Amino acid sequence: VDAVTVTILGATGSIGTSALDVMARHPGRFRVRALTGHRNIGLLAQQCRRFRPELAVVADAQAASALREQLGAACGDIQILYGEDGLEYAAGSGADITVAAIVGAAGLRPALRAVADGGRILLANKESLVMAGALFMDAVARSGATLLPLDSEHNAVFQCLPGNFSRARPVDSGVTRVLLTASGGPFRATPRSELEQVTPEQACAHPNWSMGRKISVDSATLMNKGLEVIEASWLFGIDADHLDVVVHPQSIVHSLVEYVDGTMLAQMSNPDMRTPIAHALGWPERLEAGVTPLDLVGLGRLDFGAPDHDRFPCLGLAYQALRAGGSAPAVLNAANEEAVSAFLDQCLPFTGIATVIETALECAETVDLTGIDALLAVDGAARRVARDAIARAGAAQ
Ligand code: NDP
Ligand code: MG
């Protein structure tokens, strides 16, 4: 049989490297079509030498020549492209599987391009569903693409849903509720009075997962869970009233589905992204992922609790945006990206992230998103409001 061709958008990131790690365990089964990075040219060069893609994409012309130089003779017939056009070309290069693992709004256009191609999309870039859920799911329906979630919670839900699950009418499948688990992040037990002072390094030191910096901060504010609630509503066609969050510090139960007969199905595994990645790469088959099996007796116990909305207002803001619908989640996402980046640059205190998002949501009128141009206008306006709020917060310090 022919090898399955795979394109990885965001190959140099945490998800991208885990995906390549799983693929390397199955030589002959997968062949890399395209790898995209942005600034990490050293790592992309290493990946190109090892996986021999047909195509590699980087941020700009300078990065492209740096990659060519690093590869030297090893460049061989690897085509090197750059910029947004290069990304779109890679996303539309007709691979059987495209892993969408660019971080943030930058991942939207390439993900939509891959969806239009109609293959299998493994979605890690949750921001694109939060920004453009309706447009994204319409595009999936139109092209007939197979959309599989890589996010561990959504992959868990996918595994716990019945085979005949209907996205349009989940209740008919007997599903009454979806519960997303949250680790609670590095500040789960931090008193409110200390949150003002926490540093980017503390925020990025997640107790259970090793991830990129942006999603690590999102996990610390619980905005990651908020984005995931919105992501789940689009992926599974479930409204806010049927989506709950439960704090589970061990990150062993990755999410649960409740049924009308009282059954609750959970997916469990060690917190290692190679499990959901292997699931989606191999689906409907199961692939070996290099992951340590669960030792239940060694674990001894699993704990569950309610999220603290007082200390972590971002989760409530995400529910608010989901309920408002239309452009509100796009505003939430844009303001969050600006606020997180300001926090990482030490221009905004940790507790300012929620304040900036709240301001952006208050200032924006909720409209219907008719297309990608309308979306980009909303995104741009929300970023301007957020940057003003960040500048005011900085001036007040
Ligand atoms: P990383 O920061 O580790 O990686 C991001 C990737 O995107 C890198 O390859 C980076 O390239 C590339 N990139 C960054 N900016 C741009 C840009 N403007 N244009 C093109 N490419 C760009 O992030 P993660 O892997 O942690 O996360 C990726 C996505 O997956 C996020 O949406 C996140 O929410 C989601 N996700 C991540 C999980 C995890 O465990 N890490 C779990 C669930 C979801 P370079 O580094 O070369 O500059
Ligand atoms: Mg997740």
Sheet bearing 243-247, strands edge to edge = 243-247, 175-182, 253-259, 264-268
Tell me the C-alpha distance between 359 and 363, whole Å.
Answer: 6
User: Average pLDDT over the chain, rounded to whole?
Assistant: 97
> Is the CB of residue 83 below 6 angstroms from any atom belonging to ligand 1?
no
CA gap 229, 281 in Å, rounded? 23
Q: Are strands 55-58 and 79-82 parallel, antiparallel or unpaired?
A: parallel
**Region 157-161: what's the mean pLDDT?**
97
Is this complex scored with an ipTM above 0.85? yes
- Chain centre distance of CA 311: 23
At 81, which helix (H) or strand (E)? strand 79-82
* DSSP assignment letter at 38: S
**Ligand 1 binding pocket mutation candidate from 7, 14, 40, 47 (most atoms within 8 A of CB):** 14
pLDDT grade for 395, boundaries at 50, 70 and 90: confident
User: Quick one: pLDDT at residue 42?
Assistant: 98
CA pair distance 285, 279, nearest whole angstrom: 8
The residues, any chain, with a CB within 8 Å of residue 33's CB and separated by 6 or more, are: 5, 6, 7, 53, 54, 55, 93, 94, 95
* Of 360, 382, 378, residue with least CA distance to 368: 378
pLDDT digits (tens, 9 = 90+) for 332-346: 999 999 999 999 999
Do residues 178 and 242 lie in contact, with contact meaning Cβ atoms separated by under 8 Å?
yes
**CA distances to 36, 125, 277, 351 from 28, in Å:** 21, 27, 18, 49
Please tell me what DSSP assigns to residue 255: E
Q: Is the pLDDT of residue 24 over 90?
A: yes
Q: How far apart are CA 342 and CA 390, in angstroms?
A: 7
Q: How far is the CA of 15 from the centre of ligand 1 (A)?
A: 7
Spell out the residues 6+ positions from residue 391 whose beta carbon is closer than 8 angstroms to its own: none
Q: What pLDDT band is residue 180 in, cutting at 50, 70 and 90?
A: very high
Region 96-113: what's the mean pLDDT?
Answer: 98
pLDDT band at 131 (very low <50, low <70, confident <90, very high): very high
Measure the CA–CA gap between 315 and 354, rounded to whole angstroms.
Answer: 9
**pLDDT tops 90 at residue 287:** yes
Q: Is a pLDDT exceeding 90 seen at residue 397?
A: no
Average pLDDT over residues 51-69: 98
156 lines ligand 1 (CB under 6 A): no
pLDDT, average across residues 131-142: 97
Q: Read off the pLDDT of residues 247-276 as tens digits, 9 standing for 90 and up.
A: 999 999 999 999 999 999 999 999 999 999
Ligand nearest to the CA of 123: 1
d(CA 276, CA 232): 15
Residue 165 confidence class, pLDDT cut points 50, 70, 90: confident
Tell me the angle at which helices 223-236 and 152-160 cross, rounded to the nearest 10 degrees: 40
* 30-47 residue pLDDT tens: 999 999 999 999 999 999
Predicted confidence (pLDDT) at residue 200 exceeds the cutoff of 90:
yes
| Centre of ligand 1 from the C-alpha of residue 320, in Å | 26
Q: Which 8-state DSSP code applies to residue 93? A: S
CA of 102 to the centre of ligand 1 (A): 4
What percent of the chain has a predicted confidence (pLDDT) above 70? 100
Q: pLDDT tens for residues 222-236?
A: 999 999 999 999 999
Counting ligands in written order, which one lies closest to the CA of residue 90?
1
